Amino acid sequence: MRKTAARFAHEHVSMLLLLTAFVLTGLNSVSNRAIHPLGLDRYMALYGLGFWGTGVVLGGITAAVTKHGTRPIDAVIGIAMGASGAISMVLMLVALKTVPGVVAFPVRSCGNTSLTAVISFIVWREKVTARQWLGIICGLAAIYLLLPSR
């Protein structure tokens, strides 16, 4: 089955967006890791405010430009996502004081990937192939291998 030109272009744009998100997430992780070694621990609250405040501002601009109306459920979901993300960031920053980044970031990433895939399978009934299940298992094995040995 041949792909149409529009579908081909759409898939390439989607991959470009994913790659951009990957790079920006990496930059975020580097900045998270730099706080403690640079002696900026006392500015952690300001860092969090800037990080999440920027998201609120950009979200408001996006909603205004696209003229997207907001329903109460949108606000509830957005607040839940923001709160969980903020708590996650604080926990990660605290953990980075004692856990090396070479362990912390891959464990977080593999854990996020595995948990998201399993939840997507259970809640949204997304199809997961045998190869993808193997990837999830490898991710969990990677977490085990990265944890400090006792």
Question: What pTM, to 2 d.p., does this model score?
Answer: 0.68
What is the per-residue pLDDT across 10-32, written as a single tens digit (0 to 9) for each? 778 888 888 888 888 888 888 88
Strand locations in the chain, DSSP E?
none
**Which residues have a Cβ under 8 Å from the Cβ of 1 and sit 6 or more positions away?**
none
> Residue 51 has what pLDDT?
81
pLDDT at 127 > cutoff 90: yes
CA distances from 50 to 31, 38, 43, 56 (A): 12, 18, 11, 10
Q: Residue ranges of the domains in the chain? A: 28-98, 101-150
